[in-house]
Amino acid sequence: MKNRLIITVSDVKGTKSYNIHQIVTKLIFIITITAIIVIGGSFWFIDSLNNKMDTLKKAKEKEIAKLIKKEKILVTQNKLHSLEIQDKIKDIEALSSKLDDIEEIIGIKNQPDTPALSRATIAKMTSLERMYMLQVIPNGYPLRNKIVITDKFGYRMHPVLKKRKFHRGLDFRAKMKTPIYATADGVVRYVQTRNKGSFGRLIIISHNFGFETVYAHLRKTKVKIGDVVNKGDIIGLSGNSGRSTGPHLHYEVKYASMSLNPIYFTKWNLKNYEYIFNKARRVKWDSLLNQIKKHRKLQVQQ
C-alpha cells in the first residue's frame, strides 16, 4: 500500500474509493510545478521584453530629439548662410550696376561724337578697301536663321533681376544649338567653356583696329583662346547658360573698350556702306581709314 494513494469520493449515490499509484501522483506534481514555472517564466520574459522595448524606445526618442535639435541648428545655419549669400549677391549686383554705369559714362556719355566721314572721303575709297573693311570689322548678323531681336541696346528692365540696368548688346532669339558665326576676321581673345557667371558660356573675339565682339549664353563653344577665325566661321552653338530666362544669343560690339550699338553694325553692308559712318560716331573713322589705306598700300607693295 506504500506506492498507492486511495481517494474516497462520497455523493448521494454512495461512496466510492479510487487507488492512484504514487508515480502518477509525482508525475502530476511535476507537471503542475513545470506549468507554474513556464507560466511564471513567460510573464517574466514578457515583462523583461517590455522593459527592453521601453528602454529602446526612450533611447530612440533621445536620438530623435538630438537629430531634431541638430536639424534645427543646421536649418538656422543654412538660413544664415543664405542671408550671407544674398548679401554677397546684392553686393555683386551693386558692383555690376556701378561698372555698367562707369562703362556707360566713359564709353557712351562723355565720349564726343566724331564727325561723319564726308561723301568725298567715302567716294575715294576703293572697292578693295571697302571689301577689306567688311572683312575685318564686325558687320552683319551672327545668326543665319530668321532674325528676331528680343532686347535692344540701352537701358531696360532686367528680366531676371527685375531692375533697370544698361544692356550693352543685342539679344537675338535662337533655339538651342543654333550655329553662331563670327562677324569678322579676328583672334579668339577669351573663351568661357563652363556655365558660370551672368554670361555663362562666352566667346570674345578681337578684330583689327580695336574692335571686339562678344557672344554669350552659349550652349557650346567651338573655338579656343588664340584661334584665328574668319568671318562666317561657326564659333559656337546658342544656348541658355548664365543668367538667362530662355535660349537666345547676347551679342556685343566694342571699340577701344567702348560698348557700341550692335544694330548699326548688323545693318552695315556694301549696299548700305555709308550707313555705319553716320551712325557709329564714336569710332574715329578718319584715322581708321588712314590706317587701312596704309595697310592696303603695304599689301600691294609686297
Dist CA 273 CA 155 (whole Å): 28
Q: What is the pLDDT of residue 158?
A: 64
pLDDT in tens, 113-153: 666 677 778 878 888 889 999 999 999 999 998 899 998 88
Report the percent of the chain where pLDDT is more than 70.
77
Q: How far is CA 196 from the centre of its chain?
A: 6
Q: What is the pLDDT of residue 58?
A: 82
Q: What is the pLDDT of residue 172?
A: 95
Dist CA 152 CA 172 (whole Å): 9
Between 92-106, 143-157, 181-195, the lowest mean confidence (pLDDT) is in 92-106
The set of residues, in sequence order, having a beta carbon less than 8 Å from that of 234 and lying 6+ positions away, is 179, 180, 181, 222
* C-alpha distance from residue 188 to each of 99, 106, 191, 202, 230 (Å): 24, 25, 7, 11, 11
pLDDT at 104 over 60: no
Q: What is the pLDDT of residue 95?
A: 64
pLDDT at 106 over 70: no
Average pLDDT over residues 241-266: 92
Q: What is the pLDDT of residue 22?
A: 60
Nearest to 198 by CA among 136, 146, 250, 242: 242
Q: Cell 547658360, residue? A: 241
Residue 99 CB coordination number (10 Å): 11
Pairwise pLDDT comparison (71 vs 187), residue with the higher score: 187
Q: What is the pLDDT of residue 149?
A: 93
Pairwise pLDDT comparison (132 vs 22), residue with the higher score: 132
pLDDT in tens, 266-299: 999 999 998 999 888 889 898 888 888 887 766 6
Q: How far is CA 250 from the centre of its chain?
A: 16
pLDDT at 222 over 60: yes
